[in-house]
């Protein structure tokens, strides 16, 4: 199932600053990007999104936009039609809600401690894998992830996502 979806993902946010452009260049072709930038004023957010979209298109990246119009907080969606839809899952109830909404994949987090949530500990790989077990959806590991950690977790998760691992945080 994972071969229908990117294995590697970049989650954007304001913390990246100009490091966003470095991070986009470091992504392997065929990777995914979830464009968030929730706190950015709308006009600036649209400008950044257009630039990210152009880079994603040129580099063969899959681009999802958070808040893609489905019920539920944080759904990520590509394109104007059905497109590829993902969902954040921090617990089993959120995973089931995503499954019920008909999404295509789940971002399960946080596996490990991360700068995005200072002071919070991760839930660990075993607990994270149980969140989406049996739903038939690809599980993307998020939270303190990098390529090495994903290699150790392969088989439990279909992909991994990060902010800082792409070297764009600044």
For the stretch 2-30, pLDDT in tens is 457 899 999 998 889 999 999 999 999 99
Q: Kindly give, in sequence order, each residue whose CB lies less than 8 Å from that of residue 76, ignoring residues fewer than 6 positions away.
A: 34, 64, 65, 66, 67, 68, 85, 86, 87, 88, 107
- Structural domains of the chain in order of their starting residue, each with its CATH number: 2-160 (3.20.20.70)
Q: What pLDDT is recorded for position 82? A: 63
Q: Max alpha carbon distance in the chain (Å)?
A: 41
Q: Which residue has the higher pLDDT, 93 or 78?
A: 93
| Cis preceding-peptide flag for 110 (omega within 30 of 0) | yes
Rg (CA), the chain: 15
Taking 50 as the threshold, does the pLDDT of residue 73 lie above it? no
Q: Which residue is listed with tokens 């999802």?
A: 64
Taking 90 as the threshold, does the pLDDT of residue 134 lie above it? yes
């Amino acid at each position: 199932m994972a071969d229908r979806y990117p294995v590697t993902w970049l989650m954007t946010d304001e913390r990246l600053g100009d490091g966003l452009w470095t991070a986009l260049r470091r992504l392997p072709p065929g990777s995914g990007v979830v464009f968030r930038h929730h706190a950015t004023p709308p006009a600036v957010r649209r400008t950044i999104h257009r630039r990210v979209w152009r880079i994603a298109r040129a580099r063969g990246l899959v681009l999802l936009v958070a808040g893609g119009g489905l019920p539920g907080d944080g759904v990520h969606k590509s394109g104007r039609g059905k497109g590829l839809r993902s969902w954040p899952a921090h617990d089993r109830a959120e995973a089931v809600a995503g499954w019920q909404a008909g999404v295509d994949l789940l971002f399960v987090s946080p596996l490990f401690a991360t700068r995005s949530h200072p002071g919070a500990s991760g839930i660990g790989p075993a607990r994270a894998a149980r969140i989406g077990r049996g739903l038939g959806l690809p599980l993307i590991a998020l939270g303190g992830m990098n390529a090495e950690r994903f290699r150790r977790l392969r088989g439990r998760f279909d992909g991994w996502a990060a902010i800082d691992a792409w070297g764009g945080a600044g």
